[in-house]
A and B are shown apart, each in its own frame.
Chain A
Amino acid sequence: MNRALMLVLLAVLAIAAPFYVYPILLMTVLSYVVFASSFNLLLGYAGLLCFGHAMFFGTAAYFAGWLLKNTALSIELCFLLSALSMAALGWVVGLIAARRGGIQFAMITLAISQFIYFLLLRAPFTGGEDGLQRIPRSALFGMFDVSSNLALYYVILAFSVLAILVFYRVVHSPFGEVLKAIRDNEARVESLGFIPERFKVLALTLSAGLAGLAGAMKAAAYQIATLHDVSFHISGTIIFMTLLGGLGTLTGPMVGAAMIVLLNDYLAQYGEWALIIQGAVFLVVILFFRKGVVGEIEARLKKPGRV
Chain B
Amino acid sequence: MTQSDYALEARNLSKSFGGFHAVKTVNLKVRRGSIHALIGPNGAGKTTCFNLLTKTLTPTEGQVLLDGQDITGLRSAQVARMGLVRSFQISATFPHLTCLENVRVALQSNHGTAFKFWRSLRAVEGLNARARALLEQVGLAGREDTLATELSYGKKRALEIATTLALDPKVMLLDEPTAGMGHEDVEPITDLIRQVSAGRTILIVEHNLSVVSSLCERITVLQHGEVLTEGTYDAVSNDPEVITAYMGGVDD
One of B75, B95, B97, B167 near A177 (C-beta < 8 A):
B97
Q: Is residue A134 contacting chain B, with contact meaning CB distance below 8 A?
A: no
Q: Are B101 and A177 in contact (CB under 8 A)?
A: yes
Contact partners of A184 in chain B: CB under 8 A? 93-97
Of B94, B96, B101, B109, the contact of A194 (CB 8 Å cutoff): B109
**Are A192 and B117 in contact, with the CB atoms below 8 A?**
no
Measured CB to CB, the closest approach of chain B to A172, in angstroms, equals 6
Is the CB of B104 closer than 8 A to any CB of chain A?
yes
A307 CB contacts on chain B under 8 angstroms: 96
Is A170 an interface residue, CB under 8 A from the partner?
yes
A175–B106 touching, CB < 8 Å: no
CB within 8 Å for A180 and B85 given contacts A173-B120, A194-B77, A202-B115:
no
User: Which residues of B, 66-124, contact A by the 8 Å Cβ criterion?
Assistant: 75-78, 80-81, 85-86, 88, 92-97, 101-102, 104-106, 108-111, 113-121, 123-124
Q: Which residue of B lies closest to A173 (CB)?
A: B117
Q: Does B54 contact A (CB under 8 A)?
A: yes
B147 in contact (CB, < 8 A): yes
Known: A177-B121, A193-B167, A206-B117. A188 touches B94 (CB 8 A): yes
In this assembly, does B163 line the interface, its C-beta being within 8 Å of a C-beta of chain A?
Answer: yes
Chain A residues with Cβ below 8 Å from B118 are 169-170, 173
> Whole-angstrom distance between the alpha carbons of A291 and B94 in the complex?
20
* Complex-state Cα separation, A199 to B116, whole angstroms: 11
Chain A interface secondary structure, helix, strand, loop or mixed? Answer: helix
**With A and B bound together, what is the CA distance between A174 and B114 in angstroms?**
6
Whether B94 pairs with A174 at a CB distance below 8 angstroms is no
Find chain A residues with CB under 8 A from B147 CB.
Answer: 304-306
When the two chains form their complex, are residues B95 and A178 in contact, meaning their CB atoms are under 8 A apart?
no
A185 touches B93 (CB 8 A): yes
Does A176 belong to the interface (CB within 8 Å)? yes
B contact residues around A195 at 8 Å (CB) = 75, 77
Is A269 positioned at the interface, with any CB of B under 8 Å from its CB?
no
Residue with the highest number of chain A CB atoms closer than 10 Å, among B94, B102, B117, B166: B117
Beta-carbon contacts of B139-181 to A below 8 Å, as 1s and 0s?
A: 0000000010000000000000001001100000000000000
Q: How far is the CB of A248 from chain B (nearest CB, A)?
A: 8
Residue A191 is within 8 A (CB to CB) of chain B in the complex: yes
Interface residue? A187 (CB, 8 A) = yes
Contact A187 B120, beta carbon cutoff 8 Å: no
Q: How close is B140's CB to chain A, nearest CB, in angstroms?
A: 17
Determine if B117 and A190 form an interchain contact, defined as CB atoms under 8 angstroms apart: no
Contact B114 A175 (CB under 8 A): yes
Of A174, A181, A185, A189, which one neighbours B121 at CB under 8 angstroms? A174
Instruction: Give the top 9 A-B pairs by smallest Cβ distance, nearest first.
Output: A193-B80, A175-B117, A184-B94, A174-B113, A188-B92, A193-B109, A193-B81, A181-B105, A181-B94
Additional A-B contact list (10), CB under 8 Å, known A173-B117, A184-B93, A191-B88: A170-B117, A174-B108, A177-B97, A177-B105, A178-B108, A185-B94, A185-B95, A187-B88, A188-B88, A192-B80
